[in-house]
Chains A and B, each alone.
Chain A
Amino acid sequence: MRLNRIPRAAAAAAALLLAAACDSSGSGGSSATGLNPPDLKAPTKLGRTEGQVDLIAWAGYVEDGSDDPKVDWVSDFEKQTGCQVHSKVAASSDEMVKLMKTGEYDAVSASGDASLRLIASGDAAPVNTALVPHYKDVFSGLKNGAWNSVKGQMYGIPHGRGANLLMYNTEKVKPAPTSWSAVFEGAARYKGHVTAYDSPIYIADAALYLKATRPELKIKDPYALDQKQFDAAVALLKRQNADVGEYWSDYLKEVSAFKSGDSVVGTTWQVIASLAASEGAKVKALVPKEGSTGWSDTWMVSARAKHPNCAYKWLDWIVSPKVNAQVAEYFGEAPASSKACAETSDKNFCTVYHAADERYWKKIAFWNTPIEQCLDGRTDVRCVPYAKWVQAWTEIKG
């Protein structure tokens, strides 16, 4: 009996995969059945709060003053709603997915490379945005994104966003780069001092560059690569590996590498660029002409949440202008709430982070989960799924 169940579960999962077709709108030709997540219902009204909420979050998203007494937006939430916050910091998107599968958590701050997986597997429930009053102030560019919604149904509340920028040492890298070629074709000039983000999702950065420089590959979406496009991106990264000094995943490591000059050019986040500059490194960061990849985090509610009412209260709390401003400034990302910019302590903050600049965000391809059914709507080929990206990343690093 037991053995029988397993193939059936596998078959069900395979069926789910088949059903998980493209979900990007505006894709030519395909009937766009979309990702077909399990039929879950969002609540229509909220009940009494349960007195507790269990969260999975990125470090710095749920701060109760225990790391730094001045950084605290949890205590007021607990006082106002009576929901005690228990949070678990996850180190990676993969860990978030795994934790959500335990069913012991109510909500998660998922990045785009995790959110689709959670939606497809039925671990994340659709969210009734009408129950989140502050949702109306969220920037329109973050609503109904390919990474946080399916067929117009939101699966969470946007938290904030950031772009993966090109950072360079202004003294060592001349002339100032305007293109990602500085870390690909032109990387040999800085051999041993090029840096890149240490994650399989970085393959999309190479694909984004190829999209602009090798039109014959016909890359439309850096997260939807067929085998040929994928191989081209991997080959580019293997060549880049010869010039890379180190890959970074810990942002403090990158700050120290740019300060000492061990790294002079590579991908970064705005918060790293600001921190490195404030500590005396001669660096500048920009979005190159090819555009850039980026990330946007979404607070999603578990389909098996034991404290759904408290979870909704938290979703509303985290996008309320003041809290959203606090968390965005502390973490170093563009806030999701349009009213947050009036609440930041540094009045220049939203300008630096381009919070309200929708033209800027048009150039950003937000992280998404690569799946076999091409996200760009092609149905005549199969795309390379994320598991293969992970394997390729190991091979790229050698």
Chain B
Amino acid sequence: MTTDATAAAGRGTVRRLAGTLHRRPRLRLTLLLTAPLLWLAVLYLGSLAVLFVSAFWTTNSFTSQVVKVWSTDNFHELLTTPVFRQVVLRSAGVALAVTVLCALIAFPVAFYTARVARPRWRPLLVVAILTPLWASYLVKVYAWRLILSQGGLADWTLAPFGLSGPGFGLPATVLTLTYLWLPYMILPIHTALEQLPANLLDASADLGARAGRTFRSVVLPMVLPSVAAGSVFTFSLSLGDYITVQIVGGKTQLIGNLVYSNIELNLPMAAALGTVPVVVIVLYLLAIRRTGALHSL
């Protein structure tokens, strides 16, 4: 008797709760989103905030302990020291160069895998594009070190033309990063080209457009947002990378190397340097947003 009554009461509560939730979509949404939003706010934005705040501290020059006294010295130094400006510009340049190269290489590859290759080969080709991502990052970069070293594969291939490989340095870094991040550019372009309605191409041809005109007026505008989406990956990954440049970059240093070299001795300076890529990427995302690419991410 009593158990039945409590069960009934329990059922009643659940039903009432369900009813409340049904009637109030906002409450439903709040309950659903609180946990993930808390996660985002505390762990992600929280750590970004800590990074930003610690950039305003200083260190004791001998013991290198952080002294929590508010000062803008680090940012002042960041903006006025020529070497920092140079490195920031170099890093942004590398990220842009990698992005442009990736786009130029990825487009024809994606066009082939999405539209030219026979349909039953297409999934296999996509898998082939993805396979390098299964190998360790370090293995791939060290492989490039061997390729680009003196008398390595690059030198050997170019020797018949009287040329030599680029050696270690900035070009080698751009080349290696392009190789590393290429799949991230190919995939979105592949998807966009695959979804391109065939009747649009037919219509373009019916109206007398040649291949070049169709490409410029039909294909490119529809695929451009995907290129921009891929570029978000290639750009941000290149901007944050500091290991590739250590292995194949010769004496080059990028923003990540500066963060790394400061992190033990001068944490606030490292934090100030660390805000630079954040700012650059936010600016880049704002620029990309105008293309509408963020919708196709």
Chain A contacts to B: CB under 8 angstroms: 6-7, 9-10, 13, 16-17, 20, 92, 94-95, 97-98, 101, 117, 120-121, 192, 241, 244-247, 250, 253, 256-257, 260-262, 371-372, 385-388, 390, 393-395, 397-398
Q: Is the CB of A260 within 8 A of B149?
A: yes
Q: Is the CB of A397 within 8 A of B60?
A: no
Q: Is the CB of A256 within 8 A of B253?
A: no
Enumerate chain B residues within 8 angstroms of A10, measured Cβ to Cβ. Answer: 60, 67, 69
Question: Which of these, A101, A244, A260, A387, contacts B265 with CB under 8 Å?
Answer: A387
Q: Whose C-beta in chain A lies nearest to the C-beta of B65?
A: A101
Pick out which of these stretches binds chain A: B14-22, B219-227, B256-264: B256-264
B61 contacts the other chain (CB 8 A): yes
Q: Is the CB of B167 within 8 A of A262?
A: yes
Interface residues of B in 242-295 (CB under 8 A from A): 246-247, 249-251, 253, 258, 261-262, 264-266
Enumerate chain A residues within 8 angstroms of B258, measured Cβ to Cβ. Answer: 394
Q: In whole Å, how far is B139's beta carbon from the nearest beta carbon of chain A?
A: 14
Interface centre among B67, B69, B265 (most CB of A within 10 A): B265
User: Looking at chain A's contact residues, is the secondary structure mostly helix, strand, loop, or mixed?
Assistant: helix
Enumerate chain B residues within 8 angstroms of A260, measured Cβ to Cβ. Answer: 146, 149-152
B145 contacts the other chain (CB 8 A): yes
Q: How many chain-B residues does the 8 Å CB contact rule pick out?
A: 33
Question: Which of these, A256, A261, A385, contacts B62 with CB under 8 Å?
Answer: A385
In Å, the complex CA distance between A394 and B151 comes to 31
Q: A94-B264, A261-B151, A386-B265 are in contact. List 11 more A-B contacts (CB 8 A).
A: A10-B60, A245-B250, A247-B251, A253-B247, A256-B146, A260-B146, A261-B149, A371-B62, A387-B266, A390-B262, A395-B83
Question: Which of these, B63, B167, B250, B253, contacts A117 with CB under 8 Å?
Answer: B63
Q: Is the CB of A95 within 8 A of B264?
A: yes
Q: In whole Å, how far is A391's beta carbon from the nearest beta carbon of chain B?
A: 8
In Å, the complex CA distance between A386 and B63 comes to 10
- Beyond A6-B67, A6-B68, A98-B264, whether A13 also contacts B60 by CB under 8 A is yes
B181 contacts the other chain (CB 8 A): no
Q: Is the CB of A241 within 8 A of B251?
A: yes
Question: Which of these, A16, A241, A244, A261, contacts B150 with CB under 8 Å?
Answer: A261
